[in-house]
Structures are given as structure tokens and as C-alpha cells.
Amino acid sequence: MGAAGSKLEKALGDQFPEGERYFGLENFGNTCYCNSVLQALYFCVPFREQLLEYYSSNKSAGDAEENLLTCLADLFTQISSQKKKTGVIAPKRFVQRLKKQNELFRSYMHQDAHEFLNFLLNELVDILEKEAQAAKSDQETTSPPEKMGNGLKNVQANGTHKDPLVTWVHKNFQGILTNETRCLRCETVTARDEIFLDLSLDIEQNSSITSCLKNFSSTETLNAEDKFFCDKCCSLQEAQKRMKIKKPPHILVIHLKRFKYIEQLGRYKKLSYRVVFPLELKLSNTVEDAESEYSLFAVVVHVGSGPNHGHYVSLVKSHNHWLFFDDENVEMIDESAVQTFFGSAQEYSSNTDHGYILFYESLGTSNKS
């Protein structure tokens, strides 16, 4: 482990980024699904910075109740404040808390990295929202005159409350999808907005992220028993439906649906399809049709031929260098090696290392608010 660390330091030499830390994470019996996602999140710099800021402003409340957010903040602080530049850290408290919180992750069975990421981000949002509500009610009880003012500000003209709290987790990962349905009889378009923290895309053999995104936003006709109830016609009508990205997130997380339920087999199968993911992505299926540009900074890779076993590793871009994180081990890789994780062009291939979750950061500054 120490040798691997010194090897990495030698490989980077003078180019070792000032103040950066590259630490492997110990595996506690099948916790690679957790380690690979944690590395991707650690190298999501805006998220890391806001988490560390949260930790430094909240650690004075030493008696604060332990939760997944405090455990994650503690782990990231531990890594970033190490005296050594490289090494291994045991995310013991975080894993213990995760298992305590959700029985899904208690067993030693193979877990799904995407399910874990989803659970973690939603849990962090819940904790931050509860803290904000508690702070607000404290404020209201201590200052009754202001309560009236705040209440009036929060309620809109029709008596409904303003949008829910937007946390720093939302600011990084949240985007908005709009689901448009056009009645083919009266041409009325009904649009419904949905928020998302990641996009799950269906995949096809020898495809690309761009084509998967196009399919995601393709028009679908609703007819026969799938007809749409049009409020204007007051009846079921044939309609066209499509999903577009209304507001792209600052950090775009794309989950490739590599595990598919096969009816005939009565079980899930891993799709090893070759799906090209570019280092720079232009997102064009947005409502405004303005292209949003993104840069790839992390990939969670599933290694193995089936859905119920295997291993997770992650590739991370940090200060223009690509690194390979496999639990305790960290090594430098060439940028060209990223394409070896696209998938296999043939059904049966010896290569079972396939990109599963992709993390892109927006190159525009407009989303950083």
C-alpha cells in the first residue's frame, strides 16, 4: 500500500497538485460499490468544497447527532487534512452508519453502486432540509414579530408556499426535466416538470451517450390502450409524448442501465454493450435547444459478467491527470485508457470492465450560482 502511494508520488513528481490528496479506501467485505462512488464524489470539487465548508461551520455543535452527512463530511475532512499526500483510509464510521441506516446495504452481498449513490444524495438532501426547517422554527420561536414578516414573504398571492428549499446538494446535482404531451386532436400541449439528481439511460449495442440521450428524448405516440386523457377535449385521445431537459444540472450524473430484466430467463442480465462516452459532452436535447457543454471527471466502472457479483472501481480526473481507484490501490492512468471502459462490441468478450455511472461537470459558469 505504502509502495503504491510512493509509486504514485514518483509518477506525478513535481506535477503533484498542491494541497491535493490521493487516498485509497479500505474495503470492508464487498464495500467496493461504496468506495467507488465516494471517490467520484470526493473529486467532484464543488461538492467536496461545500461539504468541507458545511463541516467546518457545523463542527462546533460537537454534540450534534451523527448521521450520514456528518460521517461523509468527517471522512472527506479526514482525507483532505492528511499530512501525507497518498495512502489508505478506512471509511469505517461511514460504512457502519450506512448499514445502520439502510438494511439494503447490511448484507455482504454484491450491492448496486447506482442504488447507493441515489440513496446517499437523497439522504443528504433530507438531512439538510430537516436542519434548515429546525433552524427556521428556532428563529421563529425566538423572534415572534419577524415570524409574521417571514410568513408573508413565503406565501405567494394565491396562498401556496414558495418552492422547497434548494440545498447545496441540489445546486450541484439537480436538473429539471419537462414531460410534454401533445394531444393529436386539439394540439394542446400539457407540460409537467420533474426534478432529477441523475439520468438513467437505456443503452444499445455500439451506441454513444449522445444517441442514448436522443432516444431518451424521442417522441413516443400514445394510442390504443395507452391513450392520454386530454383536459381540453375531456376524453381519451391519441397523443405524442416526449421528455426534454428544461434545466441542465451543474454536475450531470448519467447512469447506464447495464442490468436488464430478461423475461425468458426470469432474472437480470448484464449488458456489456459498447457505449462511447466522450471526455467532452454537448448536451443538445434541452428545451431551449442551447447546447450545454460538459467535461467528464469521473466514471464508476462495474467489473464482472453478471449483475449479482463482480467489483466496482473508479476512474477520476484530477488536475488534468487521470487516476484509477480500486479500493486501497490508487494509480495513474493515461487518458487514452478511459476508452477501454466503453464496453464490448461483441456479446462474449474477455473485457468485463464497463462504464456504469458517468460524472460530468458543466463548463458553463451560469449553473454555479
Q: Which amino acid is at 316?
A: V
Q: Where are the beta strands (DSSP E) in 82-214?
A: 86-89, 175-183, 189-196, 199-201, 207-208
Q: Is the domain 21-132+168-362 a CATH 3.30.1490.190 member? A: no
Residue 307, pLDDT score? 82
Residue 40, pLDDT score? 98
Q: Which residues of 94-126 are buried (b: 16+ CB within 10 A; e: fewer)?
A: bbebbbebeeebeeeebbbbbebbbbbbebbbe
Q: Lowest-confidence range among 58-62, 99-103, 146-150, 191-195?
A: 146-150
- Which residue, 283, 267, 266, is CA-closest to 361? 283
Q: Where are the beta strands (DSSP E) in the chain?
A: 22-25, 86-89, 175-183, 189-196, 199-201, 207-208, 220-222, 228-230, 235-237, 239-247, 251-256, 259-262, 267-270, 275-276, 280-283, 292-303, 311-318, 321-326, 329-333, 353-362
- Angle of helix 32-42 relative to helix 113-142, nearest 10 degrees, comes to 60
Q: Where are the beta strands (DSSP E) in 37-188?
A: 86-89, 175-183
- Angle of helix 45-58 relative to helix 32-42, nearest 10 degrees, comes to 90
Give 264-279 pLDDT, tens digit per residue: 888 889 999 999 999 9
Give 304-346 pLDDT, tens digit per residue: 988 888 999 999 999 999 999 999 999 999 999 999 999 998 8
Phi, psi of 304 (to 5 degrees): 140, 160
Q: What's this model's pTM, rounded to 2 decimal places?
A: 0.89
Using DSSP bridges, classify how beta strands 199-201 and 251-256 pair: parallel, antiparallel or unpaired.
parallel
Give 51-85 pLDDT, tens digit per residue: 999 998 877 655 568 899 999 999 999 999 999 99
- Comparison of pLDDT for 41 and 153, the residue scoring more: 41
Asked if 154 and 132 count as a contact pair (C-beta separation under 8 A), the reply is no
User: For the chain, which residues make up each domain, given as ranges?
Assistant: 21-132+168-362
- Angle of helix 113-142 relative to helix 144-154, nearest 10 degrees, comes to 130
C-alpha cell at 221: 405516440
- Comparison of pLDDT for 267 and 118, the residue scoring more: 118
Q: How far is CA 267 from the centre of its chain?
A: 26
- Comparison of pLDDT for 263 and 120, the residue scoring more: 120
CA atoms of 53 and 31, how far apart (whole Å): 27
Catalytic residues: 32, 311
Q: In sequence order, which residues have a C-beta less than 8 Å from that of residue 137 and are 6 or more positions away?
A: none
Q: In sequence order, which residues have a C-beta less than 8 Å from that of residue 130 and are 6 or more positions away?
A: none
Average pLDDT, integer, range 85-102: 95
Asked if 7 and 87 count as a contact pair (C-beta separation under 8 A), the reply is no
CA atoms of 70 and 349, how far apart (whole Å): 43
Asked if 6 and 86 count as a contact pair (C-beta separation under 8 A), the reply is yes
Average pLDDT, integer, range 196-214: 95
Residue 43, pLDDT score? 98
Q: How confident is the model at residue 160 (pLDDT cuts 50, 70, 90)?
A: very low
Residue 143, pLDDT score? 55
- Which residue, 106, 102, 133, is CA-closest to 119? 102
- The rounded percent of the chain whose pLDDT value lies above 70 is 88
Give 17-59 pLDDT, tens digit per residue: 999 999 999 999 889 999 999 999 999 999 999 999 999 887 7
CA atoms of 129 and 140, how far apart (whole Å): 16
pLDDT at 369 over 60: no
Give 223-250 pLDDT, tens digit per residue: 999 999 999 999 999 999 999 999 999 9
Q: How far is CA 72 from CA 78, 101, 172, 242, in A?
A: 10, 14, 16, 37
For the chain, report the end-to-end CA distance as a whole number of angstroms: 40
pLDDT at 222 over 70: yes
Average pLDDT of the chain, as a whole number: 88
Residue 163, pLDDT score? 57
User: Any bridge partners for residue 267, and if so which?
Assistant: 262
Average pLDDT, integer, range 3-11: 80
Residue 346, pLDDT score? 83
- The rounded percent of the chain whose pLDDT value lies above 90 is 70
Using DSSP bridges, classify how beta strands 228-230 and 235-237 pair: parallel, antiparallel or unpaired.
antiparallel
